[in-house]
């Protein structure tokens, strides 16, 4: 009789390569499955004690991929890659998990979700390519303890989710997405007005984004077929897991000072692409504006920390997006309130306008920064806040 990773007997032909963990969760099966398969939930509980994640791309379908970083307790980042092999809604998931698509040590896991009373029993079985890899995962990386901690986090999160509350200990991140700057650091041109929303820059800062499937789905229709390459991979992350946006007055309207009247309803028509609450920072608050599609504009005169607290109350535990413009993002960076940021460095020189980076010397000390080049000529800069915690004890394999 062979044993699994818990020292329990099993008759499986792969028993000497397995780690098997079972957990009861006091939440309906559909809720547990949703917490496991929707990135706005999954990224908030995944991993053992002390670990957090940053999603780079996510598509939940057979053949789809979750590409992410795990941030270790000691500040080390670990690349992770999962592809979904089988999906039976609310019943079963099979996946392949490694460091990359070509990882020869990638392992397969099968999760089975079964209703038990008012709750769910989840069986999590992992099969490694060899017994040696399994033993190393168990002994060196403490895969059993890490797996148990991960399912414990899932249980706490799903239980709170089922109760309709905000999962404890999972405060949303503050993120910036798809913000473009010129080579000389300008996020918008000079002379913004109704006829020129981006000032003298025109659409030059957005030429990389407009052809992407994400922007065309938002209504920025071009003459060509939507692109699905590197630029789309970055553009598509803008709304995943977002519960609210904070934007500056000039992103909402071309005017400054008192409103004069309140007929202006934004640049985006009656159905804006946000589909969440939006907090507009202005020294001249006006009544809340509710539009179609779930977008509601709240007008607030507040400093960044106060605005963030207000926005989090609207976000329902999801992340907060800082939508711009340049001065608004700069103020949140100055207040050290941003966790993740995507900046598209566009190969144009504007010479004048609103700069993003002024006064932010040493920003690189707060963030890990990676660059990704695109055939469009844009360089995508990804910023992740450095984390420093207790030494790493498990990989969570």
- In 3D, which of 28, 46, 42, 45 has the Cα closest to residue 113? 28
Token code pair at residue 172 = 């949303």
- DSSP E strand boundaries for the chain: 2-3, 9-10, 18-25, 52-58, 65-71, 77-88, 92-98, 107-116, 119-127, 174-182, 186-188, 242-248, 277-281, 289-290, 296-300, 319-324, 340-346, 354-355, 367-373, 379-385
Does residue 391 carry a pLDDT above 80? no
Query: What is the average pLDDT across 346-361?
Result: 96
Q: What is the pLDDT of residue 54?
A: 81
**Which of helix, strand or coil describes residue 24?**
strand
Clarify whether residues 241 and 279 are in a common domain.
yes
Query: What is the average pLDDT across 98-116?
Result: 95
Does residue 273 carry a pLDDT above 60? yes
pLDDT tens track for 61-78: 999 999 888 888 887 889
Instruction: Determine, yes or no, domain membership for 397.
Output: no
**Which of helix, strand or coil describes residue 271?**
coil
**Which of helix, strand or coil describes residue 237?**
helix
Residue 319 near residue 300, CB atoms below 8 Å: no
Q: What is the pLDDT of residue 24?
A: 97
Does residue 222 carry a pLDDT above 70? no
The CATH number linked to 249 is 3.40.430.10
User: What is the C-alpha R_g of the chain?
Assistant: 23
Instruction: Determine, yes or no, domain membership for 75.
Output: yes
Clarify whether residues 216 and 359 are in a common domain.
yes
The mean pLDDT of the chain is 88
- Containing domain of residue 146, as a range? 2-162
Q: What is the pLDDT of residue 196?
A: 92
Clarify whether residues 256 and 301 are in a common domain.
yes
State the Cα–Cα distance between residues 331 and 322, nearest whole angstrom: 10
Which residue's structure tokens are 């507009």?
Answer: 280
Is the preceding peptide bond at 325 cis, omega within 30 degrees of 0? yes
Lowest mean pLDDT among 234-238, 338-342, 346-350: 234-238
Instruction: Determine, yes or no, domain membership for 219.
Output: yes
Clarify whether residues 158 and 287 are in a common domain.
no
Does residue 390 carry a pLDDT above 80? no
Q: Which residue did the predictor score with more confidence, 168 or 79?
A: 79
Clarify whether residues 380 and 334 are in a common domain.
yes
Would the CA dihedral through 223, 228, 230, 236 be positive or negative?
Answer: positive
Residue 116 near residue 105, CB atoms below 8 Å: no
Q: Is the pTM of this model over 0.75?
A: no
Token code pair at residue 123 = 């069986």
Query: What is the average pLDDT across 86-109?
Result: 95
Domain boundary among 162, 193, 222: 162
Clarify whether residues 84 and 187 are in a common domain.
no
Residue 235 near residue 372, CB atoms below 8 Å: no
Lowest mean pLDDT among 39-43, 176-180, 375-379: 39-43
Please count the structural domains in the chain.
2
Domain boundary among 124, 141, 162: 162
185 Ramachandran zone, left/alpha/beta (phi>0; psi -120 to 50): left
Does residue 58 carry a pLDDT above 90? no
Query: What is the average pLDDT across 27-37?
Result: 93
Clarify whether residues 227 and 349 are in a common domain.
yes
Q: What is the pLDDT of residue 216?
A: 87
Q: Which residue did the predictor score with more confidence, 44 or 102?
A: 102
Instruction: Determine, yes or no, domain membership for 123.
Output: yes
pLDDT bucket at 260, cuts 50 / 70 / 90: confident
Clarify whether residues 143 and 208 are in a common domain.
no
């Amino acid at each position: 009789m062979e044993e699994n990773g818990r020292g329990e007997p099993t008759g499986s032909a792969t028993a000497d390569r397995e780690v098997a963990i079972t957990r009861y969760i006091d939440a309906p099966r559909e809720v547990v499955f949703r917490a496991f398969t929707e990135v706005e939930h999954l990224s908030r509980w995944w991993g053992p004690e002390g670990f957090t994640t940053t999603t780079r791309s996510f598509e939940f379908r057979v053949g789809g991929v979750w590409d992410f970083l795990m941030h270790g307790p000691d500040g080390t980042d670990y690349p992770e890659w999962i592809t979904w092999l089988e999906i039976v809604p609310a019943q079963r998931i099979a996946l392949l998990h490694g460091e990359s698509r070509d990882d020869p040590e990638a392992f397969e896991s099968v999760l089975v979700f079964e209703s038990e009373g008012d709750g769910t029993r989840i069986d999590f079985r992992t099969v490694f390519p060899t017994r040696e890899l399994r033993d190393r995962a168990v002994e060196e990386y403490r895969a059993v303890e890490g797996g148990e901690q991960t399912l414990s986090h899932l249980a706490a999160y799903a239980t709170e989710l089922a109760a309709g509350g905000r999962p404890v200990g999972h405060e949303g991140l503050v993120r910036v997405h798809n913000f473009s700057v010129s080579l000389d650091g300008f996020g918008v041109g000079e002379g913004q007005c109704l006829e020129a929303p981006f000032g003298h820059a025109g659409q030059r800062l957005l030429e990389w984004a407009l052809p992407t499937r994400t922007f065309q789905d938002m209504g920025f229709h071009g003459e060509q077929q939507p692109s699905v390459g590197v630029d789309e991979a970055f553009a598509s992350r803008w709304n995943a897991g977002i519960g609210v946006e904070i934007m500056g007055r000039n992103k909402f309207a071309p005017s400054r000072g008192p409103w004069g009247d309140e007929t202006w309803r934004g640049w985006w028509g009656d159905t804006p692409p946000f589909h969440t609450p939006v907090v507009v920072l202005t020294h001249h608050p006006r009544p809340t504006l509710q539009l179609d599609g779930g977008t509601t504009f709240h007008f607030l005169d507040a400093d960044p920390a106060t605005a963030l607290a207000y926005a989090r109350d609207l976000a329902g535990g999801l992340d907060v997006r800082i939508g711009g413009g340049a001065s608004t993002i700069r103020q949140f960076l100055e207040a050290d309130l941003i966790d993740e940021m995507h900046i598209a460095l566009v190969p144009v020189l504007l010479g004048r306008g609103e700069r993003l980076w002024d006064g932010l010397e040493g920003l690189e000390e707060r963030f890990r920064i990676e660059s990704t080049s695109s055939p469009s000529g844009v360089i995508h800069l990804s910023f992740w806040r450095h984390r420093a915690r207790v030494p790493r004890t498990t990989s969570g394999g």
